[in-house]
Amino acid sequence: MRAKKHSNHPPDAQISRLQRRLFLNGMVFPLLLLLSSIIISPAWAAEYLKQQTPHFSFFYQAADSNIAEYLIGRAELARQDIIADLGWESEANTRVYIAPSRAEFQKLQPQQDKSPSWASALAYPGLNLILLNSPRAIRGLEQDILITFRHELTHIVVGRAFGGVDIPRWLNEGLAMYEAKEWDLNRMANITQGVLSGRLIPLRELTQDFPLEPEAAALAYAQSFYLVAYLLDKKGAEGFHQFIREYAKGRSFEQVLKQTYGLGLVELEEEWLAHLRFKFSWLPIIGSSTGIWFIITLIFLISYWRKKRANKVTLTDWDVEDRYWQ
């Protein structure tokens, strides 16, 4: 008969020891996991702080407090400027997140509308939501966060004013650049190159989408900016603002254009192209061929220098924006 194996501890002691072991395992391993997560978690794992203004809720982390305070102090004035121009008022609260990293920026985006990793700012009019990358997260890219904020806020206001109805892409982008005050030498270089080379893009090709190729996209944005500027010059700020307000009421673009400016889109384009050629074809009359080529070279150098600083990131961000306006 086989003898039973006995333990060195009585049954009660065995159970007590087992309980202690299970207790220690249950406590130690979660603590280790917690400690490891604290050690390896990135800075953006911290909680978001929140500040509210009458029309905005800002969410940001402590490291971006100065950036957030800078925007918070200017957000309501920016909103007043934009709604005064567009003639559309809403008491809805716009949420603004300042993401501390590109990874967190991706995480904050709606699940169904993830953008490529290089996007630095997005606007979602349907959600009344703006996502901004903290300048700390996009070092090496020249960016004024107030300009970016005004650009995205314009897309929010336009998207909500028009109730999701598509408007010409060149008008939407031109408006955003106008409200953000985005004129610079690079844009002037782009439009000058387009005029001198005869490569300006027909407006019919800028109604739905913009080119994907970086140089063509840069020209598309420059044309949008200068066309909106031309409309402003033609009838003044109040005439242009009235045009936008009437258009936002649901009337056809062609109808409102004719009522405000006395011409249709085809005639507007012809007149505007003549204006561009007059304004930017000054190179042949400024002097010697040496002077001409010096200025041409200078323009191209400005364009190249700007491109090296912002590269394709800004262009691609612009290209991505229209996918997230819905």
Within 10 angstroms of residue 162's Cβ, the number of other Cβ atoms is 20
CATH number belonging to the domain at 40-164, selected among 3.40.30.160, 3.90.1150.10, 3.50.50.60, 1.10.287.70 = 3.40.30.160
What CA–CA distance (Å, rounded) separates 49 from 46? Answer: 9
pTM, full prediction = 0.71
pLDDT of 311 reads 47
In the chain, where the domains are located: 40-164, 166-326
Which amino acid does the sequence have at 290? T
pLDDT one digit per residue (tens) for the chain, 326 residues: 433 333 334 444 444 554 455 444 555 444 444 443 333 334 444 689 999 999 999 999 999 999 999 999 999 999 999 988 887 777 789 999 999 988 899 889 987 666 655 567 899 998 999 999 998 877 655 568 999 999 999 999 998 888 877 899 999 999 999 999 887 788 888 898 899 888 999 999 999 888 888 888 889 999 999 999 999 999 888 899 889 889 988 889 999 999 999 999 999 999 999 999 988 876 544 444 445 455 556 666 665 565 555 444 444 444 444 434 33
Predicted local confidence at residue 23, as pLDDT: 46
pLDDT at 43: 43
Q: What is the 3-state secondary structure (H, E, C) of the chain?
A: CCCCCCCCCCHHHHHHHHHHHHHHHHHHHHHHHHHHHHHHCCHHHCCCEEEECCCEEEEECHHHHHHHHHHHHHHHHHHHHHHHHHCCCCCCCEEEEEECCHHHHHHHCCHHHCCCCCCCEEEEHHHCEEEEECHHHHCCCCCCHHHHHHHHHHHHHHHHHCCCCCCCHHHHHHHHHHHHCCCCHHHHHHHHHHHHHCCCCCHHHHCCCCCCCHHHHHHHHHHHHHHHHHHHHHHHHHHHHHHHHHHHCCCCHHHHHHHHHCCCHHHHHHHHHHHHHHHHCCHHHCCCHHHHHHHHHHHHHHHHHHHHHHHHHHHHHHHHHHHHCC
Q: What type of residue is 69? A: E
Per-residue pLDDT at 29: 42
- d(C-alpha 231, C-alpha 272), whole Å: 9
Cα 211 to Cα 205: distance, rounded to the nearest angstrom: 9
Query: So what's the pLDDT on residue 321?
Result: 44
